[in-house]
Structure 1
Amino acid sequence: MGQWGAVAAGHETGGDPRVAALGRAVRRMRRELDAYPADLRDRREAERELDVLAATVHSGAPAPEELRHSLLLLAAAVGSVSALAPPLAAVREAVELFGTAPRATH
């Protein structure tokens, strides 16, 4: 079973629905990025971060701060491409399911 199949299988076995939602969003983002025909300067970085997110999903125990870091790098890599805005927004929404960063207190 490939990496993506394992993600789908985790959802069927009653895993964390947040992880399943993140897996769906990452797969969609990967499909949309792969289908985007134009040359993107930061495509490799986006692909690397999608790989990181997919591995995190596969592990079943994503750390919110790591998810946010990957999201920031992914957004920096593809954020200016309007055609990729909807799948990027889906990844952002899935990451937000894991909570917000704690606020620093002074």
Structure 2
Amino acid sequence: MLRSVGQTRVTGSGEDPRETALRAAVSRLRRQLAGHPAEFPDRGIAEDELAVLAAMVAAGDPEIPRMRRSLLLIAGAIGSVSALGPALMGVRDAVDLFGEVPPRRQV
């Protein structure tokens, strides 16, 4: 598993703190999305991609490129629902803890 400099496991828990942060952020956005009264066309996409992020964290092997793709799809699906903005930023911040996507090699 990739680790950023300065990221260590929480003593005694055996869990990467980045995974803990991502799990909490995804859970928060899922709850807020479920409780949001307005329906919008791409709500299902946001819910599906949040489930993908949750599954990656549960498996203990989050893939940075896939997490970033999910984040983009969630942001696009939620669109301008301002009430969900802070929770969405929490997910983004948690994904950013995993670092940048390595650049593609030129062939």
TM bracket (short chain): 0.7 to 0.9
Residue aligning to 2:93: 93
C-alpha RMSD of matched pairs (Å):
1.7
Note the residue ranges of structure 2 that are not aligned, 5 or more in a row.
1-9
1:1-106 equivalence runs, <5 A: 13-103=13-103
The residue type equivalent to 2:44 in the other structure is R
Instruction: Give, in angstroms, the shift of residue 100 of structure 1.
Output: 1.2
Local SS of the residue matching 1:102: coil
The residue type equivalent to 2:93 in the other structure is E
Q: Percent identity?
A: 52
The residue type equivalent to 1:17 in the other structure is P
Under a length normalisation based on structure 2, what TM-score does the superposition of the two structures give? Answer: 0.83
CA distance in 1, matches of 2:69, 2:79: 14
Higher helix share: 1
The residue type equivalent to 1:31 in the other structure is R
Instruction: Give, in angstroms, the shift of residue 23 of structure 1.
Output: 0.1
| Cα pair 1:26 1:54 within 8 Å, conserved | yes
Greater Cα radius of gyration, structure 1 or 2: 2
Instruction: Give, in angstroms, the shift of residue 104 of structure 1.
Output: 5.5
| Cα pair 1:79 1:85 within 8 Å, conserved | no
